[in-house]
């Protein structure tokens, strides 16, 4: 058996979309909501959007998908995407299929861990969102 590794660059993945300028958390929530289909209320997914200095989204990535009550987001993978795109800032987003917007202790801890890691590369965490079917909240402490 021959296994061939195909390594797609970020520019070949999720960068073909209409430019979105993020001025508010509402703008970010609208952008991320479009990435979810009917799965918003089924299982948890974690996304990252990378932004340039003018707060235009230049790329996004699905970091992980999990079960109905959680998913794993690896800080190193998030930093990898941010560094590869040479972005100035990032926005995190995940959903709560339960419909409860209350951030868990894990949500808050992970947000802080990602923020601290990104700061090592002079990349700002602009926001961290939790989406439900009909609302959203922000858990960043900027």
Query: Which tens digits make up the pLDDT trace of 12-37?
Result: 444 566 788 999 999 999 999 999 88
Looking up tokens 């795109």, which residue turns up? 85
pLDDT tens-digit series, residues 110-132: 999 999 999 999 999 999 999 99
Domains of the chain in sequence order: 10-138 (3.40.140.10)
pLDDT confidence band for 2 (50 / 70 / 90): very low
pTM score:
0.85
Whole-number mean pLDDT of the chain?
86
User: Rounded to whole angstroms, what are the CA distances from 95 to 6, 13, 83, 136?
Assistant: 30, 22, 24, 9
């Amino acid at each position: 058996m021959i296994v061939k590794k195909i390594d797609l660059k970020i520019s070949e993945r999720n960068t073909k979309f209409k430019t979105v300028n993020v001025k508010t958390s509402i703008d970010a929530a609208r952008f991320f909501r479009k990435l979810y289909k009917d799965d918003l209320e089924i299982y948890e997914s974690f996304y990252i959007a990378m932004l340039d200095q003018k707060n235009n989204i230049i790329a996004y990535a699905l970091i992980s998908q999990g079960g109905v009550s959680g998913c794993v987001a690896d800080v190193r993978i998030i930093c990898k995407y941010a560094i590869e795109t040479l972005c100035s800032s990032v926005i995190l987003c995940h959903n709560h299929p339960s419909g409860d917007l209350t951030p868990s202790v894990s949500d808050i801890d992970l947000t802080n861990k990602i923020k601290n890691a990104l700061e090592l590369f002079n990349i700002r965490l602009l926001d961290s969102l939790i989406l439900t079917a009909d609302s959203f909240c922000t858990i960043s402490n900027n």
